[in-house]
Amino acid sequence: MNTELILKHGLTLDEYEVINNYLKRELTMEELGIFSAMWNEHCCYKTSKKWLKKLPTSNDIVIQGPGENAGIIDVQDDDAIAFKIESHNHPSYIEPFNGSATGVGGILRDIFTMGARPIATLDSIRFGDLSNFKTKYLVNGVVKGIGHYGNCIGIPNIGGECEFDHSYNYNNLVNAMAIGHVKKDSIFYSEPKTIGGLIVYIGSKTGKDGIHGASMASDVFSEDDEDSKRPSVQVGDPFMEKLLMEGCLELMNAKLIESMQDMGAAGITSSSVEMASKGNLGVEINLDKIPLREPLTPYEILLSESQERMLAVILEENNEKVKNILKKWEIDYEVIGKVTDTKKVIFKSKDKIVVNLPVDIIVDLAPEYDRPFNLPLKRKVQNYDFSELNLKICLDNILKNINYSHKSWVYDQYDSTVMGDTIFEPGGSSGVVKIHNSKKAIGATTDCSPLYIRINPEKGMAHTVLESYRNLISSNIKPMAITNNLNFASPLDQNIMGELVLSISGLKKTAEYFNTPIVSGNVSLYNQTNEEPIKPTPVIGCVGLNENYKTLVPSCFKSENDKIFMNGQMLEKKNSPYFLQDHLNIKQINQFNDLVNEDFELEKIHQKFIFNMFKKELIQSANDISRGGVIYSLIKMIKSKLGFSIKTQNELDLFVECLAGYILVVNQQNCQNFTKEANIANIKLIELGIVKKEIIEINQSKLNFNSIYNSYMNNFADKINN
């Protein structure tokens, strides 16, 4: 085995030496391919594993934490919710339509592999500057791919986020999240139990698409790589996925499946190895039995990432029943092997063994690195000149910035109401779906503040998690648990490794304090091209529960003359990163002041107060205050031509971020009780003004309602389409 071949497969020479010393023999080409697939960052988390172990992953509602296809939490009675987020970043840059579409397909399989029926998806997508030659092409392709797959399979997309920043010019990010519902006695796992159980192949035929997909996602890019990496991108078929989902769920409901694993990254290699490892057993598979759509070598079969495929273990006596059900759904099915007690992974072809590896060397001896990292330098306090800024300038800056534009151009391409259980569609504080035939509502949100995390990874991550809570709380949904997608550049850079380590620390601290465990997730490293790294983008997917959907609170104005209040601690302008970036055009990270400390106690006090006000039905609508400040939160609440008239001592303060900040809208007849309750709870309220029809007024300055609203609603489409 020559050095060039080893390095081409993504292994270091030291890693290969560990393998060689353990086996005391040369690897076959197929075995080298297996280690290439299983020992990369995407599959074994060799850089992040040490730090991920520190995260809180359990409490009394967690049924399944990290380690399975998806995390599962208990939402009372006999109901459970499965959810997870995953990245498809590199494929979506090379082939935006297919890369994003198969990202959706993959995350949906993670959900129904657990026995859960998918009920919603969300996405978190990021692109480079609009001035970049490729950005509009990527935006159009990614959005169409997400919409195509989700719409065809019939799962509603209920929310997400879309951001533009120059650091994503050559590394757009596509993170897909899915949520499913399952009865607690119907959860399925990937661990096989029966020696002699049949290993069966279910789903689409295997082709050459996606070969080396996992290892491609574990490497940095240069622009010259694009064409050569293109064959590593999978091609999806949502109609086949629909059949596969229904067939698999029927098999599970009939109790005909012992265990199941999605053939995702690294295909049949990872699924079979993971099954063997979890069951502490072995597997023996005949590659000649794999359904193929074109001639493939054993090496290609092992590394193919063709979509819409499952690996399952069944009892032999159930073979005919399984076959008949899948025939009804027109799904390819083949018995390809058996579970053994050897604790080895054995693949055969043409009556020869092409792979014979102990499970422990693939899994237990996978590398785990303790990479060196740098801590950020202490920042000097800087002052800034705000004298040239005024209300009109700052408002224009917001309205012209595509990051503040209404994202209906994106989510209007997604079916958000299919299945009939969507309560809050995309565009509000959080997406919400009802559990079918129940009163329970599941809320979800995806959030990240890359600028915050770039300035101070630990504090920035805490602020990101707190924002995700506020998004749910604004809708009267209690945050329960988290899935995360840690998107970073190359961990070989000690500064970037420091961002990863400190971000996880901030996540740990926040999740522990608020008892919201991390039950699933994904790490995506090496997101950089031509040595240009992305901003650190650890996305938080937060899921929460409301036991009675009729008590949910919208994030838009409802009635004229309702009073508008806010609570929270406004930041000083010099400590408000997005204010400095948006209005002073500050871009260099060393030009920002350090972040203010998060205030967990204040957040908890405000959470308790707001939930109490919701319970007493004193709040008409609510919205959190984050990037863009009070003014942006108010603009987002405009609906049915209901605007606002407000007063403030300092107009520029309307554009800064807040700690524990919420907009709370109260009917006039409830104001006395509301303010009384706030005084009892020692909550500092600011009365901003009132809801007014077709008016935007600040300190008696009447602004053009139609101009502002139309600009907010249409700016995104205008910029993308022109």
Residue of 88, 148, 463, 583 marked active site: 88
Rounded CA-CA distance 322/315 in Å is 10
The C-alpha atoms of residue 520 and residue 537 are separated, in whole angstroms, by 17
Kindly state the DSSP code that residue 205 receives in the 8-state scheme.
P
**Polymer length of the chain:** 722
How far apart CA 356 and CA 358 sit, in angstroms, is: 7
Cα atoms found within 13 Å of the Cα of residue 612, Cβ hemisphere only: 15
Half-sphere exposure of 680 (CA within 13 A, CB side): 10
CA 445 to CA 160: how far, in whole Å? 6
Distance of CA 334 to the CA centre of its chain: 33
- Residue 463 annotated as catalytic: no
Q: Which residues of 87-108 are buried (b: 16+ CB within 10 A; e: fewer)?
A: bbbbbbbbbbbbbbbbbbbbbb
- The question of whether 88 is a catalytic residue gets the answer yes
Pick from 328, 327, 345, 325: nearest CA to 337: 345
**Residue tagged 């009780």 (tokens):** 673
The one-letter amino acid code at 53 reads K
325 and 312 in contact (C-beta within 8 Å)? Answer: no
Tally of CB atoms within 10 A around 244: 28
Q: Which is catalytic among the residues 42, 181, 463, 606?
A: 42
Torsion-angle region of 611 (φ positive above 0: left; ψ -120 to 50: alpha; else: beta)? alpha
The one-letter code for the residue type at 694 is E
Token digits for 286? 């005949």
Contact criterion met (CB below 8 Å) for 383 and 83: no
- At 410, which helix (H) or strand (E)? helix 408-411
Q: Does residue 454 sit in helix, strand or coil?
A: helix
Q: List active site positions.
A: 42, 88
